[in-house]
Amino acid sequence: MTFALPDLNPVLPEIFVLGMTCAILLIDALFKDRDLTYPLTLFTLVFAAAITVFTSVPQVQFTFGGQFVDDAMADVLKLMGYFATLAVVVYSRPYLVERGLYKVEFFALALFALLGMMVMISANHFLTLYIGLELLSLSLYALVALQRDSAQATEAAMKYFVLGALASGFLLYGMSLLYGITGTLELSVMAQLLQAGGQDQMVLAFGLVFLVAGLGFKLGVAPFHMWVPDIYQGAPSAVTLFIGSAPKLAAFAFTMRLLVDGLHPAVEYWQGMLAVMAVLSLAIGNLAAIMQTNIKRMLAYSTISHMGFLLLGIMSGTFAGYTAGMFYVIAYVLMSLGSFGLVVYLSRNGLEAENIDDFRGLNSRNPWLAALMAILMFSMAGLPPFVGFYAKLAILQSLVGAGFVWLAVVAVMFSLIGAFYYLRVVKVLYFDAPKPDAPVYPAIPDVQALLSINGLAVLMLGIMPQPLITLCTYAMQMTLQ
């Protein structure tokens, strides 16, 4: 019995993050010093980014017998994941301290969730894909429930848990059917076998339905979107910030690995399903968001519509579509981090800045914060010259290029409807009188600095989108060569 030791170089970032998370748990338990946990978490994220950059090679690397894949797409998405987690940790610190949630568990669970995302991003096997997903989901369920004395948060966690378990069941059933007809769990091998043909097409389509339904749940696209608004609203804002940002990268990677790396030969089956889900999400997300008064709920519906847009990119089944999808998800994570980050930042002194009303006349109180929020809202609405505009444009171009002109028309129509509720927030910020007891927020320097960088990045990437476009194109080229 011989066994070649797997090449551990590509897995170094994962090993480092796991080791550091365990170390943080132990150090916190030993020294009971929260001031050590926070910098250690930041150090982990920065150092993991450095490792990812230094171990990055242009070729696609497989290890652990093809269960793990390291390619340019994985590296870019992981780097973005570190940044998103870092921003979440920085933004939410004052919020957590004020509410007695500033505990090692928050940091440890966030890092475990990040590890789950990294595993998903680099998965080339149904097993790793699924375990990564569960690692992410389990950490998120616990994070939502972390605020134990809040009935709302507990209810949200319960809903998330039950629906998440259901979605996992769907995914597993679909995976088992595909395993049944191909006899392999490895995604790249599955693609080759399906390319060669000979499988029962009916079973393939049947299994795909379950896979795509499970995927829809996890992405939070209609008609599997019911959990999104409740969880976004019920969870503590700091956790909403996390759920709303970094996991979207993993969800994109999950979809790409599953449908493009593994099931590309079945593109004609999943294309139709994705198109239906995308159009429904655009419709439900944008229309339902108009009626919301709670900004977290409004942003939740906006997430649904954004995920619909993302699906449109993947759905086109072309190289341009995948690149556009990657650009879109990175842009969306930046915007989502900024907007939820501001909600968290303004939730101070016992006040939860949850309602759109709480933002009334922010310009007269904190003009810089109002400007940042306005930039983010404009970008989400897809107005030039912000990054959201280029993200939407790239998706539309790929759709037209692949011959789905009517889908592009539908997408533009719903984006126009969506612009209404984003612009309403801007109107509230600038043209409404503040409530008489509305506070003026003193700046928390580190948080405000990162928020400003975040907001300005959305602006700068909109003015000069070329570097990011080049990066995404390069990553996709290297990955799908």
Partner 1 sequence: MEFTGYVFYIFSAILLLASLRVITASNPIHAALALVLAFFTAAGLWMLLEAEFLAITLVLVYIGAVLVLFLFVVMMLDINLEEIRKGFWGYLPAGALVGGLMVVEMFMVLGGKDFGLAEPVAHAADYSNTKELGRLLYTEYVYPFELAAVLLLVAMVAAIALTHRKRGDTKPLNPAEQVKVKKADRLRMVNLKPQKPEAPKGDDE
Residues contributing to the site for partner 1 (CB under 8 A): 1, 3, 6, 11, 18, 22, 25, 64-65, 67-68, 103, 105, 108-109, 112, 115, 119, 125, 127-128, 131-132, 134-135, 138-139, 141-142, 145-146, 148, 177, 180-181, 183, 200, 202-203, 206
Minimal distance, residue 135 CB to partner 1, in Å: 6
180/384 with CB nearer partner 1: 180
Whether 395 contacts 372, CB under 8 Å = no
Minimal distance, residue 186 CB to partner 1, in Å: 11
Q: Give, for 69, the enclosing helix (H) or strand (E).
A: strand 68-70
216/285 with CB nearer partner 1: 216
User: What backbone phi and psi angles, to 5 degrees, belong to 440?
Assistant: -95, 130
Minimal distance, residue 367 CB to partner 1, in Å: 39
179/319 with CB nearer partner 1: 179
Whether 260 contacts 343, CB under 8 Å = no
Whether 254 contacts 215, CB under 8 Å = yes
103/348 with CB nearer partner 1: 103
Residue 62's SS3 state is strand
The CA-atom distances, in angstroms, between 71 and each of 49, 59, 116, 144 are 15, 7, 17, 32
Minimal distance, residue 13 CB to partner 1, in Å: 14
8/409 with CB nearer partner 1: 8
Minimal distance, residue 395 CB to partner 1, in Å: 33
Whether 438 contacts 359, CB under 8 Å = no
Contacts of 154 (CB under 8 A, 6+ apart): 145, 148
Minimal distance, residue 141 CB to partner 1, in Å: 7
Burial code of 219-258, b = ≥16 C-beta within 10 A, e = fewer? bbbbebbebbbbbbbbbbbbbbbbbbbbbbbbbbbbbbbb
181/253 with CB nearer partner 1: 181
Closest C-alpha to 372, from 341, 351, 344, 349 = 341
Whether 277 contacts 221, CB under 8 Å = yes
Minimal distance, residue 146 CB to partner 1, in Å: 6
11/77 with CB nearer partner 1: 11
